[in-house]
Protein backbone atom coordinates (compact mmCIF):
# COMPACT_ATOMS: atom_id res chain seq x y z
CA UNK A 1 0.00 0.00 0.00
CA UNK A 2 1.36 3.42 -0.97
CA UNK A 3 1.41 6.43 1.29
CA UNK A 4 2.73 9.98 1.17
CA UNK A 5 3.25 12.74 3.68
CA UNK A 6 2.26 16.29 2.78
CA UNK A 7 4.28 19.27 3.96
CA UNK A 8 3.81 23.00 3.52
CA UNK A 9 6.61 25.53 3.16
CA UNK A 10 7.33 28.95 1.73
CA UNK A 11 5.66 32.32 1.98
CA UNK A 12 2.05 31.12 2.13
CA UNK A 13 2.71 29.15 5.29
CA UNK A 14 5.15 31.67 6.78
CA UNK A 15 3.66 35.00 5.79
CA UNK A 16 0.24 34.51 4.39
CA UNK A 17 -0.36 38.16 3.54
CA UNK A 18 2.37 38.26 0.91
CA UNK A 19 2.62 35.01 -0.99
CA UNK A 20 3.22 34.21 -4.63
CA UNK A 21 2.15 30.61 -4.58
CA UNK A 22 1.41 27.78 -2.18
CA UNK A 23 4.48 25.59 -1.82
CA UNK A 24 3.78 21.98 -1.01
CA UNK A 25 6.06 18.99 -0.64
CA UNK A 26 4.79 15.50 -1.33
CA UNK A 27 7.08 13.07 0.42
CA UNK A 28 6.62 9.56 -0.94
CA UNK A 29 8.04 6.36 0.46
CA UNK A 30 10.70 5.25 -1.98
CA UNK A 31 12.06 5.54 -5.52
CA UNK A 32 9.92 2.77 -7.02
CA UNK A 33 7.72 3.69 -9.96
CA UNK A 34 4.60 2.79 -7.93
CA UNK A 35 5.61 5.19 -5.19
CA UNK A 36 6.35 7.93 -7.75
CA UNK A 37 3.02 7.33 -9.47
CA UNK A 38 1.11 7.67 -6.22
CA UNK A 39 2.91 10.94 -5.54
CA UNK A 40 1.93 12.15 -9.02
CA UNK A 41 -1.68 11.16 -8.34
CA UNK A 42 -1.68 13.24 -5.17
CA UNK A 43 0.00 16.15 -6.98
CA UNK A 44 -2.62 16.15 -9.75
CA UNK A 45 -5.41 16.01 -7.16
CA UNK A 46 -4.05 18.99 -5.25
CA UNK A 47 -3.32 21.09 -8.36
CA UNK A 48 -6.78 20.49 -9.75
CA UNK A 49 -8.21 21.96 -6.53
CA UNK A 50 -5.53 24.55 -5.72
CA UNK A 51 -4.21 25.80 -9.06
CA UNK A 52 -1.75 28.22 -7.44
CA UNK A 53 0.00 25.39 -5.63
CA UNK A 54 3.64 24.74 -6.50
CA UNK A 55 4.35 21.12 -5.73
CA UNK A 56 7.64 19.35 -5.17
CA UNK A 57 7.75 15.56 -5.04
CA UNK A 58 10.55 13.72 -3.28
CA UNK A 59 11.00 10.19 -2.08
CA UNK A 60 12.15 9.73 1.51
CA UNK A 61 15.69 8.70 0.43
CA UNK A 62 15.94 11.76 -1.83
CA UNK A 63 14.74 14.07 0.93
CA UNK A 64 17.11 12.45 3.38
CA UNK A 65 20.06 13.19 1.09
CA UNK A 66 19.28 16.84 0.48
CA UNK A 67 17.53 17.74 3.77
CA UNK A 68 14.79 19.54 1.87
CA UNK A 69 12.40 19.65 4.83
CA UNK A 70 14.99 21.24 7.10
CA UNK A 71 16.28 23.69 4.49
CA UNK A 72 12.81 24.83 3.44
CA UNK A 73 11.49 24.76 7.02
CA UNK A 74 8.62 22.67 5.81
CA UNK A 75 6.16 21.40 8.32
CA UNK A 76 3.93 18.39 8.33
CA UNK A 77 0.33 18.84 7.23
CA UNK A 78 -0.98 15.32 6.88
CA UNK A 79 -0.68 11.86 5.48
CA UNK A 80 -2.37 10.25 2.48
CA UNK A 81 -2.89 6.52 2.41
CA UNK A 82 -3.65 4.79 -0.85
CA UNK A 83 -6.76 3.06 0.55
CA UNK A 84 -8.28 6.36 1.73
CA UNK A 85 -6.55 8.75 -0.66
CA UNK A 86 -9.52 10.88 -1.70
CA UNK A 87 -10.75 11.37 1.86
CA UNK A 88 -7.24 12.16 3.12
CA UNK A 89 -6.60 14.61 0.28
CA UNK A 90 -9.90 16.41 0.82
CA UNK A 91 -8.95 16.87 4.48
CA UNK A 92 -5.57 18.29 3.45
CA UNK A 93 -7.19 20.65 0.94
CA UNK A 94 -9.56 21.80 3.65
CA UNK A 95 -6.65 22.43 6.01
CA UNK A 96 -4.82 24.51 3.39
CA UNK A 97 -7.90 26.43 2.33
CA UNK A 98 -8.62 27.34 5.95
CA UNK A 99 -5.04 28.10 6.86
CA UNK B 1 13.18 34.23 -5.03
CA UNK B 2 10.85 31.29 -5.54
CA UNK B 3 10.82 28.90 -8.43
CA UNK B 4 8.01 29.91 -10.71
CA UNK B 5 4.66 28.21 -10.39
CA UNK B 6 2.85 26.34 -13.18
CA UNK B 7 3.55 22.91 -11.80
CA UNK B 8 4.44 21.71 -15.23
CA UNK B 9 6.57 22.67 -17.06
CA UNK B 10 7.89 24.81 -14.18
CA UNK B 11 8.57 27.83 -16.34
CA UNK B 12 11.29 30.27 -15.38
CA UNK B 13 10.48 32.96 -12.86
CA UNK B 14 11.26 35.46 -15.63
CA UNK B 15 9.12 33.64 -18.19
CA UNK B 16 11.97 32.86 -20.53
CA UNK B 17 15.24 30.95 -20.81
CA UNK B 18 17.22 33.59 -22.67
CA UNK B 19 20.33 33.07 -20.55
CA UNK B 20 20.33 29.35 -21.37
CA UNK B 21 19.85 30.02 -25.09
CA UNK B 22 22.68 32.56 -25.10
CA UNK B 23 24.99 30.11 -23.33
CA UNK B 24 24.11 27.36 -25.80
CA UNK B 25 24.78 29.62 -28.78
CA UNK B 26 28.19 30.48 -27.36
CA UNK B 27 29.30 26.83 -27.08
CA UNK B 28 31.76 25.75 -29.76
CA UNK B 29 30.11 22.30 -30.06
CA UNK B 30 26.69 23.81 -30.77
CA UNK B 31 25.65 24.70 -34.31
CA UNK B 32 22.07 25.73 -33.78
CA UNK B 33 19.46 26.19 -31.07
CA UNK B 34 15.81 25.77 -32.01
CA UNK B 35 12.98 26.41 -29.58
CA UNK B 36 10.38 23.64 -29.88
CA UNK B 37 8.28 25.46 -27.30
CA UNK B 38 8.93 27.64 -24.25
CA UNK B 39 10.62 24.84 -22.31
CA UNK B 40 11.92 22.43 -24.96
CA UNK B 41 14.81 23.04 -27.31
CA UNK B 42 16.52 21.14 -30.09
CA UNK B 43 20.26 21.60 -29.81
CA UNK B 44 22.09 20.77 -33.06
CA UNK B 45 25.68 19.76 -32.37
CA UNK B 46 28.65 20.14 -34.67
CA UNK B 47 28.99 16.32 -34.81
CA UNK B 48 25.58 16.13 -36.48
CA UNK B 49 23.66 14.94 -33.41
CA UNK B 50 20.50 16.70 -32.34
CA UNK B 51 19.51 16.75 -28.68
CA UNK B 52 16.00 17.28 -27.38
CA UNK B 53 16.44 19.27 -24.19
CA UNK B 54 13.92 20.21 -21.52
CA UNK B 55 14.72 23.11 -19.19
CA UNK B 56 12.79 23.96 -16.06
CA UNK B 57 12.82 25.61 -12.66
CA UNK B 58 11.81 23.00 -10.15
CA UNK B 59 12.88 23.31 -6.51
CA UNK B 60 14.26 19.80 -6.35
CA UNK B 61 13.88 17.68 -9.48
CA UNK B 62 13.45 14.12 -8.26
CA UNK B 63 12.58 10.76 -9.71
CA UNK B 64 8.83 11.37 -9.64
CA UNK B 65 9.35 14.59 -11.62
CA UNK B 66 11.49 12.67 -14.10
CA UNK B 67 8.71 10.14 -14.69
CA UNK B 68 6.19 12.95 -14.95
CA UNK B 69 8.33 14.80 -17.48
CA UNK B 70 8.89 11.77 -19.70
CA UNK B 71 5.20 10.92 -19.52
CA UNK B 72 4.28 14.39 -20.77
CA UNK B 73 7.13 15.11 -23.22
CA UNK B 74 8.31 11.72 -24.41
CA UNK B 75 11.95 10.80 -24.83
CA UNK B 76 14.47 13.50 -23.94
CA UNK B 77 18.24 13.65 -24.28
CA UNK B 78 18.86 16.11 -21.48
CA UNK B 79 17.08 17.92 -18.67
CA UNK B 80 18.45 21.23 -17.43
CA UNK B 81 17.59 22.71 -14.07
CA UNK B 82 17.73 26.48 -14.33
CA UNK B 83 18.30 28.88 -11.43
CA UNK B 84 20.54 28.72 -8.37
CA UNK B 85 17.46 28.23 -6.21
CA UNK B 86 16.66 24.93 -7.86
CA UNK B 87 18.38 21.59 -8.12
CA UNK B 88 18.00 17.86 -8.65
CA UNK B 89 18.47 14.77 -6.54
CA UNK B 90 21.33 12.32 -6.93
CA UNK B 91 18.78 9.53 -7.28
CA UNK B 92 17.28 11.32 -10.29
CA UNK B 93 20.76 11.94 -11.68
CA UNK B 94 21.68 8.27 -11.40
CA UNK B 95 18.42 7.10 -12.95
CA UNK B 96 18.78 9.57 -15.82
CA UNK B 97 22.35 8.39 -16.47
CA UNK B 98 21.12 4.80 -16.63
CA UNK B 99 18.54 5.94 -19.20
CA UNK B 100 21.20 7.88 -21.15
CA UNK B 101 19.52 11.15 -20.29
CA UNK B 102 21.67 14.02 -19.07
CA UNK B 103 20.55 15.87 -15.93
CA UNK B 104 22.48 19.00 -15.04
CA UNK B 105 22.47 22.67 -14.27
CA UNK B 106 23.49 24.93 -17.14
CA UNK B 107 27.22 24.86 -16.38
CA UNK B 108 27.10 21.08 -16.12
CA UNK B 109 25.46 20.85 -19.52
CA UNK B 110 28.07 23.17 -20.99
CA UNK B 111 30.78 20.80 -19.76
CA UNK B 112 28.88 17.67 -20.78
CA UNK B 113 28.56 18.86 -24.38
CA UNK B 114 32.29 18.29 -24.73
CA UNK B 115 31.76 14.57 -24.14
CA UNK B 116 30.43 12.05 -26.71
CA UNK B 117 28.55 10.30 -23.91
CA UNK B 118 27.27 13.58 -22.52
CA UNK B 119 24.80 11.88 -20.16
CA UNK B 120 27.69 10.45 -18.11
CA UNK B 121 29.03 13.83 -17.03
CA UNK B 122 29.34 14.31 -13.28
CA UNK B 123 30.38 17.35 -11.31
CA UNK B 124 33.25 16.90 -8.84
CA UNK B 125 30.77 16.76 -5.98
CA UNK B 126 28.72 14.12 -7.76
CA UNK B 127 31.80 12.00 -8.40
CA UNK B 128 32.46 11.96 -4.66
CA UNK B 129 28.85 11.22 -3.81
CA UNK B 130 28.59 8.43 -6.38
CA UNK B 131 31.78 6.80 -5.07
CA UNK B 132 30.22 6.68 -1.58
CA UNK B 133 27.29 4.62 -2.88
**Residue B132: φ, ψ to 5°:** -70, -25
Structure confidence by residue, pLDDT tens digits, A13-45:
987 778 888 999 999 999 999 999 999 999 999
- Looking at residue B73, its pLDDT comes to 92
Contacts of A6 (CB under 8 A, 6+ apart): A24, A25, A26, A27, A42, A76, A77, A78, A79, A80, A92
Assess contact for A2 and A83: CB atoms under 8 A. Answer: no
Q: Do A65 and B89 touch (CB under 8 A)?
A: yes
A79 inside 8 A of chain B by CB: no
Structure confidence by residue, pLDDT tens digits, A46-56:
999 999 999 99
Structure confidence by residue, pLDDT tens digits, B16-59:
889 999 999 999 999 999 999 889 999 999 999 999 999 998 89
Q: What stretch of H or E contains B52?
A: strand B50-56
Q: Which residues of B touch A43 (CB under 8 A)?
A: 7, 64, 68
A73 inside 8 A of chain B by CB: no
Strands B40-45 and B30-35: antiparallel
pLDDT surpassing 70 at residue B112 = yes
CATH number at residue A14: 3.30.460
pLDDT surpassing 90 at residue A87 = yes
- Looking at residue A94, its pLDDT comes to 96
Q: Do B92 and A62 touch (CB under 8 A)?
A: yes
CA-based nearest residue to A62, from A92, A39, A83 = A39
- Looking at residue A15, its pLDDT comes to 74
B3 inside 8 A of chain A by CB: yes
Q: What is the ipTM of this complex?
A: 0.92
Question: Best residue in A47, A58, A67 to probe B by mutation, most B CBs within 10 Å?
Answer: A58
**Residue B8's pLDDT band (boundaries 50, 70, 90)?**
low
* Higher-pLDDT residue of B5, A13: A13
CA distance A87 to chain B (A): 23
DSSP A35-95: HHHHHHHHHHHHHHH-TTEEEEEEEHHHHHHHTHHHHHT-EEEEEEEGGGHHHHHHHHHHH
pLDDT surpassing 50 at residue B1 = no
CA distance A50 to chain B (A): 11
- Looking at residue B16, its pLDDT comes to 82
**Residue B3's pLDDT band (boundaries 50, 70, 90)?**
very low
- Looking at residue B83, its pLDDT comes to 80
pLDDT surpassing 60 at residue A71 = yes
**Full residue range of the structural domain in which residue A69 is found:** 3-97
User: How many other C-beta atoms are found inside a 10 Å radius of the C-beta of residue A99?
Assistant: 11
User: How many other C-beta atoms are found inside a 10 Å radius of the C-beta of residue B15?
Assistant: 10
Report chain B's mean pLDDT, rounded to a whole number.
91
- Looking at residue A63, its pLDDT comes to 97
Q: Average pLDDT, stretch B8-14?
A: 71
Q: Which residues of B touch A15 (CB under 8 A)?
A: none
The tally of domains found in chain A comes to 1
Q: Do A61 and B95 touch (CB under 8 A)?
A: no
Amino acid sequence: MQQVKIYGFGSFFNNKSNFHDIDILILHSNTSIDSCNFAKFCKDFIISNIPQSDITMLSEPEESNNSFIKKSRAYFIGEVLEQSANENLINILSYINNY
Amino acid sequence: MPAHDDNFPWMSYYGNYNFFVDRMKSHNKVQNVHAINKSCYEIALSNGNKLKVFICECYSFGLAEFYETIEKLGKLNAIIINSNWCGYTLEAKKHCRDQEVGLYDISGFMAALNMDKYWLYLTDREKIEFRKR
